[in-house]
Amino acid sequence: MNANPYYVLAVLFLVNLLNYIDRQVLYAVFPLIKPDLMLSDTQLGALASSFMVVYMCAAPFAGWFGDRSNRSRWLAGGVGIWSLATVFSGLSKTYAQLLGARSLVGIGEACYGSISPSFIAERFKLDTRARVLGFFSMAIPVGSALGYVLGGQLGERYGWRTAFFMVGVPGLAAAFLCSLLKDPRSDAAGRKPAPPGWSAYAGLLKNRIFVADTLAGAAMTFAVGGLAAWMPSYFVRTWNVSVGQAGLWFGGVTVAAGALGSLTGGWVGDWALRYTKKSYFLVTGVGFLACIPFGAATLWAPDCRTALLFLFCAEFLIFMNNGPLNALLVDCTPVAIRSMAFAVNIFFIHALGDALSPTLIGWVSDKTDLRTGIALALGAMFLASLFCLWGTRYMED
């Protein structure tokens, strides 16, 4: 059964859902952790940044091994590690322990993130990959929303530690399902192709499409990472709502806008591919540019309801990138180095993106206010659109 591409897509969609639940539950309980452990906003932001630093640094190692061994085992191992680390987060009694646990989550997710997109895409035809990866990436907003909702509700009722326990345990069952999947690069006898040399990896940096895709993703990730970390706290502080209510509202908007945006971006990207090979960059770049005025309107809205409406529009346009940018990465790299290609992409989009933005926004918030800190994300979206425009120069019609 696990040879069926739609079965594999379903399993890894479920795992990706858990992936983003585990990530975002931390942000939902920021307002509860802050007084309990007596932390500053900078320290809270560092919890998010520590995960990203470890995640991006571990990714190249995971990609290298993934290109040389059975990728199913790396998928299963990664899911198991991050799930246990999430449980350990709930057991933390000090800031140092919590910082260590969140860092360990990054190791597990690096194994999964480097392998899963190509593991899925290789099972589908070229002209359907944006839609398939758009559906797969729909787990990002849905899982993020569930993380905010579950984190806010469980944290408010039972404490922030219980929230980590409840979202970490299901990942162990998901790890078992991953271990049963067959690596599509293996032949009938289960053998893998000969591993590539280092020159093949060095060629990634000469691949202009890959570079443009990665830089656009980095600028987008800077913005999205900062928004994901701080928007629930922004609603708590600006509109004086409870932690649970902020998580519910922000999560609801994110799941609706993100799911629709991911599916729409994948569909439009594949449809436009009939007319121009530049479609994936064009769909993504237009979405990035159009989201900026809606993001600004969110921060300066006169009331909470209006802010949520503008936030929906901004997130819809941002999430249109998920299918097209991932499909571009698959299409522009040889199959033998795709794990490393995604690993290098992960390293740079987080090193230049959300490894910095949560802490930077927290620092600006400590010096000025949270609205000013979050506004930094809008400039990054403009850069992301410019990188997409640059990337179209290297796509032949």
Please write the tens of the pLDDT for every residue from 261-303: 999 999 999 999 888 989 999 999 999 999 999 999 999 999 9
Residue 28, CB half-sphere, CA atoms under 13 Å: how many? Answer: 37
pLDDT at 209: 94
Higher pLDDT, 307 or 143: 307
CATH T-level topology, domain 5-184+204-394 = Growth Hormone; Chain: A; (1.20.1250)
pLDDT at 2: 53
Domain range annotation of the chain: 5-184+204-394
**Could you give the angle at the alpha carbon of 28 between the alpha carbons of 74 and 232, nearest 5°?**
125
CA distance 187 to 192: 7
Q: Return the beta strands (E) in 157-286 as ranges.
A: none
Other beta carbons within 10 angstroms of residue 101's beta carbon come to: 22
pLDDT at 392: 93
Q: Using only C-alpha atoms, what is the Rg of the chain?
A: 20
- Contact assessment for residue 140 and residue 269, using Cβ atoms and an 8 Å cutoff: no
Structure tokens at 234: 């922004």
pLDDT at 195: 65
**What's CA 321's distance to the chain center, in Å?**
12
pLDDT at 138: 84
Q: What is the pLDDT of residues 380-389, one digit of tens each?
A: 999 999 999 9
Burial of 69 (0-12, 13-18, 19+ CB in 10 A): middle
Residues 6+ apart with CB under 8 A from 186: 70, 192
Q: Which of these, 135, 354, 323, 152, lies nearest to 251 by C-alpha position?
A: 152
Tell me the CA distances in angstroms from 219 to 54, 244, 318, one per residue in order: 19, 30, 11
CA distance 324 to 280: 5
Mean model confidence pLDDT for the chain? 86
- Contact assessment for residue 62 and residue 346, using Cβ atoms and an 8 Å cutoff: no
CA distance 193 to 306: 55
CA distance 219 to 376: 11
CA distance 393 to 73: 39
CA distance 317 to 258: 9
Residue 230 has pLDDT above 80, yes or no: yes
- Contact assessment for residue 2 and residue 180, using Cβ atoms and an 8 Å cutoff: yes
pLDDT at 211: 95
pLDDT at 194: 62
pLDDT at 193: 57
Averaged over 362-372, what is the pLDDT? 88
Question: Which pairs count as long-range contacts for 368-373, CB under 8 Å and 24+ apart, including other chains?
Answer: 370/41, 370/230, 370/233, 370/234, 370/237, 370/238, 371/234, 371/238, 371/299, 373/226, 373/230
Q: What is the pLDDT of residues 312-355, one digit of tens each?
A: 999 999 999 988 998 898 888 887 788 888 888 888 988 888 77
Q: Which of these, 315, 214, 322, 209, lies nearest to 270 by C-alpha position?
A: 322
Q: What is the pLDDT of residues 239-249, one digit of tens each?
A: 888 877 877 78
- Contact assessment for residue 290 and residue 318, using Cβ atoms and an 8 Å cutoff: no
**Could you give the angle at the alpha carbon of 207 between the alpha carbons of 225 and 261, nearest 5°?**
35
Whole-prediction pTM: 0.77
Burial of 151 (0-12, 13-18, 19+ CB in 10 A): buried
Structure tokens at 313: 């529009």
Scanning the structure block, which residue is given the tokens 């410019």? 386
Percent of residues, the chain, with pLDDT higher than 70: 95
